[in-house]
Structure 1
Amino acid sequence: MVVSGQCLLCVFTPQKETPLANAVFWAARKGNLALLQLLLNSGRVDADCRDSYGTTALMVASYSGHYECVKELIMQGADINYQRETGSTALFFASQHGHCDVVKLLFEFGASTEFQTKDGGTALTVASQYGHSKVVDTLLKNGANVHDQLNVRPFASTFTASHCHDLLLPMSSTTSSSSLCFQDGTAPLWMAAQMGHSEAVKVLLLRGADRDADRQDGSTALFKAALKGHNSVIEELLKFSPSLGLLKNGSTALHAAVVGGNLRSILLLLGANADPTLANKNNELPADLTKSDRILKLLHPKISNGNS
């Protein structure tokens, strides 16, 4: 299933809440600080009021990026690290949507990077997938684990009853449905690489991400970037000398680049001394995987020189 759009916050429809609580959620979503203060100061509604999914007003304000509303809710006693039924926190939502100022504010008041969603997702994994490099850097500076990994395949969980997804979903309707098939071992670097977010990849690498960390299927960040033709990502990864040899999946990044058909990707890998004479587990050379004359011309001189 491919989900279109950027996970915009839909009209909030809390269940089994009082009219005042509904108004708090509305104010948090719209960024109406005056109304939010009026409601909270009345003493008739709690700053931690939540809907039947465990969503709090702080999560809604963080999701929407309303800094002052987030601060007001915190000052009124909202639980920063409260988890809704999917495991997501306010920090997760602020990170998902790139609200770096809100992320920093949450850290100032004790937000933790340790909480995970039911699929093992964290604020760092979701920020990496959406390419929010400044948020990624901020999270890592505040204790996020650069080696975080998803545990299971994500499921279609929602932020509200209006189907606003809070898990790791593709950013546009043009994203392949295979992007949803995250398996065990998927790390932030792999996510950022497969989505083509070179700045996030750069930050993660500089902060110690394992350039050759592979998923359960044996693919690495370089392999995935090569397959999808994300050349700026390939360039960043090559600065850290990733493996160009056979991976656990029995193939190489060069094989992936040839299958992807991006000439620039192939040139980048060849320029980094990827070996076009190295066969995959099926005894196929990269040249065996294409009928493109342009790609074959790139590979054949190298093969001839290698044979000689």
Structure 2
Amino acid sequence: MSTRKGNLALLQLLLNSGRVDADCRDSFGTTALMVASYSGHYDCARELIMQGTDINLQRETGSTALFFASQQGHNEVVKLLFEFGGSTEFQTKDGGTALSAACQYGHSKVVDTLLKNGANVHDQLHDGATPLFLASQEGHVTVIRQLLSSGAKVNHPREDGTVPLWMAAQMGHSEVVKVLLLRGADRDADRKVCSPLATQHCIVKHLQCFSDKKPLLNGSTALHAAVMGDNHKSVNLLLGANADPTLPNKDNELPADLTKSNRILRALRPHILNGSS
């Protein structure tokens, strides 16, 4: 409670009493340092460190104090944890790291600090999603530029074959689409067919993203994704980068078959005619 509320005087009183261990945990394995890091209470976090708390303890989920500080964007706390031995190597049960958390939530200052302290730009969740994929999914352009400048692979797919460009196009992040194309993203890469065990998971994921739209079909290109996302800016960016509107998905559907938007159809039509000729 003292660390959650940032009450440094009470925290010091409790720790100095000798009746409370700095590494005491709740039923989920949460330490006071994790709470202070999540809440951004720098002074409380420093006091706990000075009292000998283990910086790299993991919660039941695998999360550490560094993970929580990174997730919430508390850059000064992140720097403090590194100063006293915080590690970027620990993963959550789904493969998440401090870097993947910071990228997912768009905390560019934290991303910079993590990368300077050895975070791996090629980290992956257990489903294969990289920090670049997560940032692309959420539309965090600044973070995407940081990751690409640090060597992130622009075309690295998730296990189901989905690449960052495809996801950005589906989610309607046209500025992300532009950046990824400029950095060499494969404009016509399709989304590979999911394995039988993964098919239901893929469908559920897309239904969660677009509850009012049917899930995108396996084998769809980024252009299919942009059309289904009803995002004309991304469609035009992809066409400007010579994406092929005559490539069908696995059900032999062209991007133009997946929309009733006159604006998007007008954009696609000349390219389809040129492709056919």
Same fold per superposition (TM over 0.5): yes
Q: Is 1:282 matched up with 2:251?
A: yes
Q: In structure 2, what is the equivalent of residue 246 of structure 1? A: 189
Q: In structure 2, what is the equivalent of residue 204 of structure 1? A: 147
Task: Say if 1:248 and 1:293 are closer, same or farther in 2 by CA, change over 3 A.
Answer: closer
Which piece of structure 1 moves more, 87-96 or 228-237? 228-237
Cα distance between partner residues in 2 of 1:293 and 1:43 = 72
CA contact (8 A) 1:65 1:102 kept: yes
Aligned AA (1:260): G
1:55-94 matches, cutoff 5 A:
55-94=30-69
1:164-175 matches, cutoff 5 A:
none
Unaligned runs of 5+ in 2: 193-218
RMSD: 1.3
Cα distance between partner residues in 2 of 1:186 and 1:261 = 24
CA contact (8 A) 2:136 2:164 kept: yes
Q: What secondary structure is seen at the aligned counterpart in 1 of 2:48?
A: helix
Q: Which has the higher helix share?
A: 2
Q: Deviations over 1:250-295 (max 9, x none)?
A: 2211111111111111011111111112222322221121122111
Q: In structure 2, what is the equivalent of residue 304 of structure 1? A: 273
CA contact (8 A) 2:191 2:221 kept: no
Q: In structure 2, what is the equivalent of residue 186 of structure 1? A: 129
1:41 is matched with which residue: 7, 11, 16?
Answer: 16
Cα distance between partner residues in 2 of 1:225 and 1:248 = 13
User: Percent identity among equivalent residues?
Assistant: 70
Deviation, structure 1 residue 40: 1.5
Q: What secondary structure is seen at the aligned counterpart in 1 of 2:233?
A: helix
Q: Is 1:109 matched up with 2:78?
A: no
Q: Is 1:132 matched up with 2:107?
A: yes
Q: What secondary structure is seen at the aligned counterpart in 2 of 1:268?
A: helix
Q: In structure 2, what is the equivalent of residue 295 of structure 1? A: 264
CA contact (8 A) 2:224 2:254 kept: yes
Q: In structure 2, what is the equivalent of residue 15 of structure 1? A: none
Deviation, structure 1 residue 118: 1.3
Deviation, structure 1 residue 132: 1.1
Cα distance between partner residues in 1 of 2:91 and 2:67 = 9
Q: Deviations over 1:56-110 (max 9, x none)?
A: 1100000000011111110110100011111111001101101011001100110
Deviation, structure 1 residue 41: 1.9
Q: Is 1:51 matched up with 2:29?
A: no
CA contact (8 A) 1:246 1:280 kept: no
CA contact (8 A) 2:181 2:187 kept: no
Deviation, structure 1 residue 306: 2.4
2:240 is matched with which residue: 262, 271, 276?
Answer: 271
Cα distance between partner residues in 2 of 1:295 and 1:248 = 21
How many residues align structurally?
Answer: 251
TM-score after normalising by structure 2: 0.87
Deviation, structure 1 residue 30: 0.8
Deviation, structure 1 residue 246: 3.2
Q: What secondary structure is seen at the aligned counterpart in 1 of 2:183?
A: coil
Structure showing greater relative contact order (alpha-carbon pairs closer than 8 Å, 6 or more residues apart): 1
TM-score after normalising by structure 1: 0.79
Deviation, structure 1 residue 248: 4.5
